[in-house]
A and B are shown apart, each in its own frame.
Chain A
């Protein structure tokens, strides 16, 4: 089956702009979670969606938002970009059935965002 697809892979934006990143989960997976990875802070949880509803949210400012569509695809949006938003943004999908197996999450390759 196809993996988790994140688009775009790379993105360069300027301060003050906004950006939308996309994540298409594995077919049948209804849960999508987003993470930010920076050299200084490591991996941090942004938010998790399940069946179009945000279930959990990490400690990020309101400039970071997301949504999930009826086909489980998810988008995250960052408004008024700051230099510190430069990071690798990863999404992961999971399903309740998969959590019984030897893995819980399937990760996308990430979107590397550079803010200049």
Chain B
């Protein structure tokens, strides 16, 4: 069993829909990261969480430490949100999830 599990693996939605990507982990962590990777490889760090909830524009990330679960939400999704979203947890190193490939259709 992978230490970091993301779901779904692939997600296709229409522009404007509310998007939720989930991340569950099985190890003790000091922080959880959500990152975005566009085609071509560049990775952008979206959030770093150790508790509660963070919001940046249309993106919201939550974490439940007791349940070892985090969610990334995108409100009013847009085609430019199409990317791979990766959850990574930090123990002494970053342990990566497999990513969720999101496609937003206009």
Whether A90 and B41, one on each chain, are in contact in the complex, defined by CB atoms closer than 8 angstroms, is: yes
Residues of A within 8 A of B85 (CB): none
In the bound assembly, the distance between CA atoms of A109 and B42 in angstroms comes to 5
Identify whether the interface residues of A are mostly helix, strand, loop, or mixed.
strand
Chain A, interface size category, equals 20 to 34
Whether B48 and A104, one on each chain, are in contact in the complex, defined by CB atoms closer than 8 angstroms, is: yes
B-binding residues in A (CB < 8 A): 33, 35, 37, 42-45, 48, 56, 58, 88, 90, 92, 99, 101-107, 109-110, 112
Can you list 12 contacts pairing A with B, beta carbon distance less than 8 Å? A43-B88, A45-B93, A48-B93, A90-B43, A92-B45, A101-B48, A104-B31, A104-B48, A105-B45, A107-B43, A109-B41, A112-B41
Other CB < 8 Å A-B pairs besides A35-B94, A48-B93, A90-B43, 10 of them?
A45-B94, A102-B48, A102-B54, A103-B47, A104-B48, A105-B94, A107-B42, A107-B43, A109-B42, A110-B41
